[in-house]
Chain A
Amino acid sequence: ELKVEQNPLFLSMQEGKNYTIYCNYSTTSDRLYWYRQDPGKSLESLFVLLSNGAVKQEGRLMASLDTKARLSTLHITAAVHDLSATYFCAVGALIQGAQKLVFGQGTRLTINP
Chain B
Amino acid sequence: ETGVTQTPRHLVMGMTNKKSLKCEQHLGHNAMYWYKQSAKKPLELMFVYNFKEQTENNSVPSRFSPECPNSSHLFLHLHTLQPEDSALYLCASSPAPWDTEAFFGQGTRLTVV
Q: Count of B residues near A, CB < 8 Å?
A: 22
Q: Is the beta-carbon distance between A99 and B56 smaller than 8 angstroms?
A: yes
Interface residues on A, range: 20 to 34
Q: Is the beta-carbon distance between A48 and B42 smaller than 8 angstroms?
A: no
User: Could you say which of A100, A103, A104 has the most chain B C-beta atoms within 10 Å of its C-beta?
Assistant: A103
Question: Is B43 an interface residue, CB under 8 A from the partner?
Answer: yes
Residues of chain B lying within 8 A (CB to CB) of residue A99 = 48, 55-56, 97-98
Which residue of chain A has the shortest Cβ distance to B43 in the bound complex?
A: A103
Question: Is B105 an interface residue, CB under 8 A from the partner?
Answer: yes
Within 8 A of B (CB), among A57-113: 88, 90, 92, 98-106
Residues of chain B lying within 8 A (CB to CB) of residue A105 = 42
Residues of chain B lying within 8 A (CB to CB) of residue A50 = 99
Residues of chain B lying within 8 A (CB to CB) of residue A90 = 43
Interface of A, helix, strand, loop or mixed by DSSP: strand
Instruction: Name 29 interchain pairs, CB-CB below 8 A, sorted by A.
Output: A4-B42, A31-B99, A33-B102, A35-B104, A42-B90, A42-B107, A43-B43, A44-B2, A44-B104, A45-B102, A45-B103, A48-B99, A48-B100, A48-B101, A50-B99, A88-B43, A92-B98, A98-B56, A99-B55, A99-B97, A99-B98, A100-B45, A100-B58, A101-B45, A101-B98, A102-B42, A103-B42, A106-B42, A106-B43
Using a CB–CB cutoff of 8 Å, the interface residues on chain B facing chain A are 2, 42-45, 48, 55-56, 58, 90, 92, 97-107
